[in-house]
Amino acid sequence: MQFKDIIGQEKLKRQLIETVDNGRISHAQLFLGKGVNGKFALAVSYAQYINCPHKTADDSCGVCLSCKKYQALSHPDLFFSFPVNKGKKGGAEDDDGEERTKDSGISKTASTKDLISTMFNKEWLAYLNETGYYPYLQDWYSRISMDNQQGIINVEEARRIVKDLSFRPSEAHYKVLIIWHPDKMNPSAANLLLKFFEEPPARTLIIMVADEKELLLNTIQSRFQLIPVPKIDSGSLRRHLRSMFPAISTQQIENAVILADGDVHMALSVLMEGEQIKDHFLMFQSWMRMCYKAKSLEEIKDFVEKVSKIGRENQKEFLQYGLRLIHQSLNMNYGHATLTRLTIYEKDWLSKFSPFIHINNSLTIIEKLEKTIFEIGRNASAAIIFMKLSLDLSLLLKIPK
């Protein structure tokens, strides 16, 4: 991956190149930014640039042996770590001969604690190539598991990392480890790694790529140099979508640019899976109506039953979507028109719904939704927490303005 293949982010590319030019490459860096904004692709291009012996003033050469191996993701001094789950198929071929069932690829006795990311190497490389190095967690989970199970970076994985990084680089100037979603590390993995990162081997660069600072341990935050990665600017995103989809109307592209707010995965979802967003919309709309009217517990039970079936990651996406509409309602009500990003059907409905979201209830509603997203992430019972949330919302929506 070369810098030239990255969507926008021109200023950050320059800053990263300067760290190399000035010999100020920090050995532990945290690429931080919300959504699929290219932070992962930037980490890979940066590593390729650092190790290219024929780099130019603004990019790696793309043709030397190091660049070629980087581009094939086969460089012996490039390592990845990422969350995995039990999976439907564990990429067993490259593993250590542990007994495995033929169809699942995973050992009959394997539990989550035995899983390490290299078992999924084949899927991972294919997935990165498909997304152009713009990975998205839920997509990754659905790629490797039947029902979007949550993933983890466990202590076995941490031990694997320590082992892999303990040797000197075999070819490159710098050995590079890119950890995607360090927020999925469990505490024992984090403790082991932090101890190791305190005195990393010479010529080793560790880049963590994360969405939210709050989800990371303080010890990680303090030991890693923070590299904020902003959202992709509208102009670059628009040009990218236009070149990918030359036949799509300007209006559709514009709609995707507005809704995506600098997140390329979101933009592609809007274009390619516009229907799913619409599903969320229709479900949220009927849920809010039901909560407001809430004539019977039966109605709520129907909804809870429906939402319980869509899987945890979808539930979280649905609630995130709901949160967005609540925030947009506030923008509508309190005059931040420029902050309002909505499709035509959302705008139409929110013009009626937004008066129900106001200063006396909005904060509590937002807190409840966020808390539910958190609880779903912690594997709480979806039926119970959606039931509780629906009852809470039904009271909150009736609070007078």
- The residue ranges that bind Zn ion (CB under 5 A) are 52, 54, 60-61, 64, 67
Q: Least separation, in Å, of the C-beta of 339 and Zn ion?
A: 43
Q: How far is the CB of 76 from Zn ion (least distance, A)?
A: 16
Q: Taking the CA atoms of 184, 186, 187 and 191 in sequence, report the sign of the dihedral they define.
A: negative
Rounded least distance, CB 344 to Zn ion, Å? 48
| CB distance 154 to 186 below 8 Å | yes
Least Cβ distance, residue 174 to Zn ion (angstroms): 13
What are the C-alpha distances in Å from 267 to residues 140, 245, 247, 272, 356? 17, 12, 16, 9, 29
CB of 50 to Zn ion, least distance (A): 11
AA identity, residue 392: D
Minimum separation from the CB atom of position 51 to Zn ion (A)? 8
- 184 contacts 378 by C-beta, under 8 angstroms: no
Short-list 67, 30, 64, 33, CA closest to 47: 67
**Closest to Zn ion by CB, 25 or 283:** 25
Cβ nearer to Zn ion, comparing 64 with 192? 64
Q: Output the smallest distance, CB 172 to Zn ion, in A.
A: 11
CB of 53 or CB of 235, closer to Zn ion = 53
Residue closer to Zn ion (CB basis): 54 or 173: 54
Q: In angstroms, give the least distance from the CB of 4 to Zn ion.
A: 13
Q: What one-letter code names the amino acid at 337?
A: A
Question: Considering beta carbons, is residue 25 or 64 the nearer one to Zn ion?
Answer: 64
The DSSP call for residue 199 is S
Residues 6+ apart with CB under 8 A from 226: 29, 30, 32, 213
Report the alpha-carbon distance of residue 352 to residue 345 in Å, rounded.
Answer: 12
Instruction: Report yes or no: 110 and 99 within 8 Å, Cβ to Cβ.
Output: no
Nearer to Zn ion, 52 or 229 (CB): 52
Q: Which is nearer to Zn ion, 48 or 81 (CB)?
A: 48
Residue among 61 and 366 whose Cβ is closer to Zn ion: 61
Long-range CB contacts (within 8 A, 24+) of 66-70? 66/171, 66/172, 67/2, 69/171, 70/1, 70/44
Cα distance between residue 175 and residue 258, in whole Å: 39
Q: Which is nearer to Zn ion, 59 or 346 (CB)?
A: 59
Torsion angle (degrees, nearest 10) of CA 106, 309, 264, 142: 10
Question: Parallel, antiparallel, or unpaired for β 28-32 and 175-180?
Answer: unpaired
Report the residue number, 50 or 277, with the smaller CB distance to Zn ion: 50
Q: How far is the CB of 375 from Zn ion (least distance, A)?
A: 48
* Residues 86, 89, 91, 92, CA torsion sign: positive
**Minimum distance from CB of 110 to Zn ion (Å)?**
39
What gap in Å lies between CA 317 and CA 306, rounded to an integer? 15
Q: Please choose, from the candidates 348, 351, 327, 337, the residue with its C-alpha nearest in 3D space to the C-alpha of residue 278.
A: 348
State how far the Cα of 80 lies from the Cα of 74, in Å rounded to an integer: 11
